[in-house]
């Protein structure tokens, strides 16, 4: 992800959806892992880690790495960490860390396909509704405790019962798992008093049959479920992890089941990771320690890379990236991500935003080719007419290419924009005034300046509102914007982008359209792949061209730099450095 942005679009209380992205922020998109039976305010496994391996052991491992015992590398990220709780996360930068710490039932390979990870194998019923997973025998938490089906059961029920802040993370569970919607509603009503270890969940399609057998029963088919289960919310945490709290995730030393464990973390500075010897593929992990730095300031990041202080940098500026194009240091992180404008036509939005023709005028005033040139060229920022980015499957090929072949009605036309504004009563003597919100990092200021000039050319007055990236998506989730920049990343189905604007996913609906909600719900029940993809094309046309709820601007690949090491790769939409070796 899918993700929100700070990756990380997109819609939940106190956190950022989507992941989002952005030369610095994008969604991503979502979820957490499942079941168990222990209760208590502290995770049982976390307590064991503190007693057996925690504090002093973590300090020793960090010290050994610092002394040069084993290979180590330093990576600079584009933003601060907002949470490392898999259930709550929707932001790209957090996902970069979590993909190193945890392993779910599946993990994406370098080609983006979901491969069994914690499960040895799985079966699917003929109707596509019942998935039975057989867990591996050699999987352990970093404190040596076996990973069991009960851990998955606890984790997935925790996602559903965490609370309102987790509306985005629980969305796919609610949409696809039998009985999940009712269970989630009951949990939300009860609030923090809800205890998943005592609450009856027999009507929920989440079941640990025994230690090594786990069953998911869906309410409707989900052809891309294995890929979906690679995302955040589907990652397991130990039984006993606090049910309604995420602060524990910023205290290093708790058990993880992925390639690495966390030995030190400061959400505004860095996360220190060391190899997890209990990981079932530990012999394949070649990088012993990774320091992940928070470096939102682009110039500082560029200087740190040039001086050799850091070995890799994600989400670098185009100016910095351009200097390395054609060298071994340049790395374009291929992620399925869009950069677009969201318009708040909901109850908290301005009156002008409720007029589709005014929204259309804003779109027609934007010269996307010129915007791309300003930012560094189509090589880095390919103009995007449709909302779903390139790279996802459609009816018989690339979804975006199929959509573009049908034509596009919102091409640059400033004269038509002026005419539409005049029809709505906005003229040179009575100009439309709008407030454009963006996060004050990455390319977002440059985009804002370019848009201001284009809108000014058709008589629109623009006021800027620049917001610190760490709180940006929280404000959007609460409907605190008129028009804003957005970015979203997902790798399994175009519907992950489209359903972002259904009322069930949004915390405070900026797009409140029952017809859109119904179209997405209808699509989820379509089994035939071709019919399903065609329905998604119809939904995209409705969202973008008929109603102009969003204005696509460009595909948003992520330029990165790397030196001193080789072997970097992508796990879905997340970079992974575990297989790196020193040059």
Secondary structure (H, E, C), 379-401:
CCCCECCCCCCCCCECCCCEHHH
Q: Which residues contact 462 (CB under 8 A, 6 or more apart)?
A: 433, 434, 435, 436, 451, 452, 455, 456
Q: Provide DSSP, 246-290.
A: -GGGGSTT----SSEEEEEEETTTEEEEEE-TTSTTGGG----EE
42 lies in a domain? Answer: no
State mean pLDDT over 145-160: 98
Q: Is the pLDDT of residue 314 over 70?
A: yes
Here the contacts of 204-207 (C-beta below 8 Å, separation 24 or greater) are 204/157, 204/160, 204/177, 204/178, 204/179, 204/180, 205/177, 205/178, 205/179, 205/180, 206/34, 206/35, 206/153, 206/156, 206/157, 206/177, 206/180, 207/35, 207/153
- Chain segment 184-194, per-residue pLDDT in tens: 999 999 999 99
pLDDT classification of 573: cutoffs 50, 70, 90: confident
Number of domains in the chain: 1
420 lies in a domain? Answer: yes
State mean pLDDT over 431-448: 93
388 lies in a domain? Answer: yes
State mean pLDDT over 286-309: 96
pLDDT classification of 69: cutoffs 50, 70, 90: low
Q: Which residues span the domain enclosing 471?
A: 337-556
- Nearest-angstrom CA–CA distance, 212 and 120: 10
- Nearest-angstrom CA–CA distance, 6 and 21: 7
Answer whether 0.85 is exceeded by the pTM. Answer: no
> What's the CA angle centered on 487, arms 486 and 493, to 5 degrees?
130
6 lies in a domain? Answer: no
Q: Write the CATH number for 465.
A: 3.10.105.10
Pairing of strands 114-116, 106-108: antiparallel
Q: Output 97 or 394, whichever has higher pLDDT.
A: 97
248 lies in a domain? Answer: no
- Chain segment 456-495, per-residue pLDDT in tens: 999 999 999 999 877 898 899 999 999 999 999 887 889 9
Instruction: Give the position of tokens 């300046």.
Output: 449
304 lies in a domain? Answer: no
- Nearest-angstrom CA–CA distance, 541 and 535: 10
545 lies in a domain? Answer: yes
Q: Is the pLDDT of residue 318 over 90?
A: no
581 lies in a domain? Answer: no
The three-class DSSP label of residue 186 is: helix
Q: Output 146 or 15, whichever has higher pLDDT.
A: 146
The three-class DSSP label of residue 103 is: coil
């Amino acid at each position: 992800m899918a993700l929100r942005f700070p990756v990380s679009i997109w819609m939940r209380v106190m956190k950022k959806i989507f992941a989002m992205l952005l030369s610095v922020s994008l969604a991503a998109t979502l979820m957490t892992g499942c079941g168990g039976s222990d209760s208590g305010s502290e995770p049982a496994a976390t307590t064991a880690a503190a007693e057996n391996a925690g504090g002093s052991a973590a300090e020793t491992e960090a010290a050994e790495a610092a002394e040069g015992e084993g290979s180590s590398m330093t990576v600079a990220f584009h933003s601060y960490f907002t949470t490392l709780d898999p259930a709550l996360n929707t932001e790209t930068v957090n996902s970069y860390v979590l993909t190193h710490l945890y392993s779910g039932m599946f993990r994406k390979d370098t080609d983006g396909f979901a491969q069994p990870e914690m499960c040895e194998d799985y079966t699917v019923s003929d109707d596509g509704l019942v998935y039975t997973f057989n867990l591996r025998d050699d999987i352990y938490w970093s404190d040596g405790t076996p990973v069991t089906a009960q851990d998955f059961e606890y984790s997935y029920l925790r996602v559903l019962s965490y609370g309102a802040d987790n509306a985005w993370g629980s969305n796919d569970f609610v949409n696809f798992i039998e009985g999940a919607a009712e269970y989630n509603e009951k949990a939300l009503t009860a609030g923090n008093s809800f205890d998943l270890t005592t609450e009856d969940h027999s009507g929920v399609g989440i079941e640990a049959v025994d230690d090594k057998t786990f069953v998911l029963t869906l309410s409707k088919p989900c052809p891309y479920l294995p890929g979906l289960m690679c995302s955040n919310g589907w990652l397991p945490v130990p039984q006993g992890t606090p049910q309604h709290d995420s602060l524990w995730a910023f205290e290093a030393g708790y058990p993880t089941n992925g390639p690495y464990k966390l030995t030190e973390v400061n959400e505004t500075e860095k996360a220190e990771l060391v190899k997890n010897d209990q990981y079932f593929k530990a012999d394949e992990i070649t990088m012993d320690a990774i320091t992940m730095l928070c470096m939102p300031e682009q110039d500082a990041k560029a200087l740190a890379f040039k001086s050799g202080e850091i070995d890799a940098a994600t989400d670098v500026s185009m100016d910095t990236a351009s200097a390395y194009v054609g060298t071994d240091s340049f790395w374009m992180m291929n992620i399925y991500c869009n950069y677009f404008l969201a318009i708040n036509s909901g109850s908290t939005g301005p009156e002008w935003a409720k007029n589709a023709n005014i929204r259309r005028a804003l779109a027609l005033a934007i010269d996307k080719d010129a915007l791309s040139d300003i930012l560094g060229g189509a090589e880095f920022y390919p103009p995007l007419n449709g909302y779903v980015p390139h790279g996802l499957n459609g009816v018989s090929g690339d979804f975006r290419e199929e959509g573009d072949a049908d034509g596009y009605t919102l091409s640059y036309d400033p004269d038509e924009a002026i005419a539409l504004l005049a029809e709505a009563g906005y003229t040179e003597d009575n100009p439309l005034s709008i407030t454009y919100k963006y996060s004050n990092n990455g390319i977002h200021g440059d985009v804002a300046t370019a848009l201001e000039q284009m809108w000014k050319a058709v008589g629109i007055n623009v006021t800027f509102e620049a917001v610190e990236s760490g709180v940006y998506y929280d404000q959007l989730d609460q409907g605190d914007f008129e028009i804003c920049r957005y970015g979203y990343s997902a790798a399994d189905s175009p519907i992950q982008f489209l359903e972002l604007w259904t009322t069930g996913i949004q915390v405070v609906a900026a797009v409140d359209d029952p017809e859109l909600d119904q179209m997405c719900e209808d699509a989820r029940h379509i089994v035939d792949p071709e019919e399903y993809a065609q329905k998604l094309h119809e939904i995209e046309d409705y969202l973008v061209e008929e109603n102009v709820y969003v204005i696509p601007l460009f595909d948003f690949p992520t330029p990165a730099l790397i030196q001193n090491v080789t072997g970097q790769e992508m796990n879905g939409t997340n970079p992974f450095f575990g297989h790196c070796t020193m040059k």
